[in-house]
Amino acid sequence: MTLNPKQHLVIVKGEDKTVDVLKIEKESKRSIVTYNNGKSYPYNAQNVELLSNPKCIPIQDCRLSISGDMLSDVECALRFNNWVKIFHKNGVSRCCLFSELSIQQMKMPDGRSNDILAYFRELADGASLKTVEDDSLLAIKYRHLNRVPKTSILSDFIKNHTSSTPSTSTRPVSQLLFPFGCNMSQKLAIHAALQNPISLIQGPPGTGKTQTILNLIANLLLQGKRVAVVSNNNSATANVNEKMKKYSLDFLTAFLGKAENKAMFIESQENISITMPSLNERDETSVRKEVFRLNNELDRAFESKNRLAVVIHQLDAIRLEWNHYERYLRETIDSNSKVWDRGIETKVPSQELLKHWLIYEREAKARFNKEESDLLVNRSLKNSV
């Protein structure tokens, strides 16, 4: 008879075998374990534990994690001495040592909960993209998310980490390869992508985003890593695959996704062995030195190009300003003859202007009369002499 996993726990060599075990027979120094398939195996008695009568661990308003991996949708947690059995709402269960289990109270002093994953799940239920049964597609994904590894990016978000530990990649930017060509911004983008867990590369069509992806793939493969290119539509991933095919590198790719894509990929495989070119250690060292030199030279060329772009921009601004000035000068010269025909624009009332005009006129007449009188006196004196 199969053991009830919520009443009994069978540990064989440190692994939970409860649902697989039919019965256990104990001898002096051995335990005979009979599995559901009818086969029996002897084990050292110390390698087999049969535990019963568990204690229920209170988990309400708590967040559970096993060795740093956060758990979600936990229905109950049972403690069997040094072991803990976790049961999820979707029927999945897992077992760990009690010392590996961490329980964090989620209720804050203000009564709010900081269980961000539960908050995301609640939002997912309201997503507009539905199945034919009117279930949220996003919510379905969250229901299967019952464990968040501590090394994942999602774990950093849930734990409210403002920054993540940089990548362990120690390859300097000067030793990166750019077989598909690049500019300075693309080179910096690839360097940032290799040094950080998340990078956002944004730009309008034609700015070289696909080219950057190809260079990033090349450097990750050079480091012995695997790459997954994913998108919400097939055209974006197909574009990358076509570019790889253009350079005869499509043998490195597997175009997957939908079931028909997988079937097509499997059916298109051919029994052809591919021999990759290789270098001996001395030649490889020489090539790496040359790559280092060319990368440094490329950086200097990019810096010169950026300085040239700044100078060209400044020169264009000066030319534009000069054109405006020339146009203003031409308009001023052409309209100079008409300046006196323009009306006087002033905020002084006309009566005030007339008053000052009359005063100026009287003073001018008085000065003129005085000058005429002085002139007559001088003439009479000259005549008398």
pLDDT tens, residue by residue, 81-128: 999 999 988 888 989 999 999 887 766 555 555 567 777 777 888 888
Structural domain harbouring 196 = 173-267
What is the distance between the terminal CA atoms of the chain, rounded to a whole angstrom? 160
Q: Is 349 helix (H, G, I), strand (E, B) or coil?
A: coil
Tell me if 104 is assigned to some domain: no
Q: And the tokens for 180?
A: 């598909």
Please tell me which residue, 18 or 330, carries the higher pLDDT value: 18
105-124: b (≥16 Cβ within 10 Å) or e = ebeeeeeeeebbbeebbeeb
7: amino acid identity, one letter: Q
Predicted model pTM: 0.51
Element (H, E) at 221: helix 209-222
- DSSP-derived 3-state class of residue 130: strand
In a domain, 241, yes or no: yes
Is residue 2 within 8 Å of residue 19, measured between CB atoms? yes
The larger pLDDT score, comparing residue 375 to residue 163, is at 375
Task: Write the DSSP symbol of residue 133.
Answer: T
**pLDDT exceeds cutoff 70 at 150:** yes
Are 131 and 94 in contact, with CB atoms under 8 Å apart? Answer: no
| 218 in any annotated domain | yes
pLDDT tens profile 60-87: 878 788 887 888 778 899 999 999 999 9
Residue 238 lies in a domain: yes
68 found inside a domain: no
**262 within domain boundaries:** yes
Q: Which are the contacts of 145, defined by CB distance < 8 A and separation ≥ 6?
A: 72, 117
- Identify each DSSP E strand in 212-342 by its residue range: none
Query: 43 and 55 in contact (C-beta within 8 Å)?
Result: no
Q: What is the number of structural domains in the chain? A: 1
> What is the full DSSP assignment across 243-274?
HHHHTT-GGG----SSHHHHHHHHHT------
Q: Has residue 236 been placed in a domain?
A: yes
What amino acid occupies position 308?
L
In sequence order, the 6+-apart residues with CB closer than 8 A to the CB of 69 are 147, 148, 149, 150, 155
- 324 within a domain of the structure (yes/no): no
Give me 206's structure tokens.
């034609």
Which residues sit opposite 49 in a β-bridge?
11
In sequence order, the 6+-apart residues with CB closer than 8 A to the CB of 380 are none
- Tokens for 284, please give them: 């490889």
Q: How many CB atoms lie within 10 A of CB 96?
A: 15
> Which of 152-161, 211-220, 264-273, 283-292 is predicted least confidently?
152-161
